[in-house]
Structure 1
Amino acid sequence: MSSTPASGKRKGLPNILGNIAWLVGGKGFGAICSLVYLALLSQSLGIRDFGHFSLIFGTGQALVAIAGFQTWQTMVRFGAQAIHQQDWGRFGRLAWLCGGLEAAGAIFGCLAAYVIYFGFADRLGLNPAYVHMAFAFNCALVWARVTTPNGIVRVLDRFDVSIYVEAVVPAGRVLAAIAIVVMGASVGRFLFAWAAIDLLAAALYWIAAWRLAPHALARRHIGGIRTALRENPGAARFFGITYLSSTLDALFKQGPLLAVGYFLGTSTAGIYRLADQLAQGFGKLSALLGRAIYPEITLARISNDAGDFRRLVLQITGIAGIGGLIVTLVALFFGGDVLGLIGGEAYARGGVILLPLVIGAAFELASVSYEPVLHSTGHAAYPLIARVIAVLTLGVGIFAFVSAGPVGIGWAVALGMAAGYLAMSVIVWIVLHWDRKRA
Structure 2
Amino acid sequence: MNRTRLFKKSLLAVTIASTTLASQQALAAGFQLNAQSATGLGRAFAGDAVIADNASVMARNPAAMALFDKTELSLGFESITSKIEVKNATYSVNAFSTSVPDANDIGDTSVAPNLHVIVPVNDKFAWGANVYSNFGTKTEFDDNYVATEYGGLTDVQSLNFGLSGSYRLDEKWSFGLGLDLIYGKGTMKRSTGSTLATATGGAVASGTSLVNVDSATGWAVGLNVGTVYELDESNRFGFSYRYSPEITAEDDKNQEITLPLPDMAEFSGFHKIKDTQFAVHYSIQYIGWSAFDKIEFRNLQGSALGSSYDKQYDWQDGWHYAIGGTYYLNSDWTLRAGYMYDTSAQDSRTSISVPDSDRQWFSTGFTYHIDQKSNIDFGFTYLMGDDVAVSESTSLPGGLVTTGVTATTRADAILVGLQYSRSF
Please report the TM-score for the alignment, with normalisation by the length of structure 2. Answer: 0.30
Please report the TM-score for the alignment, with normalisation by the length of structure 1. Answer: 0.29
**Larger gyration radius, structure 1 or structure 2:** 2
More strand by share: 2
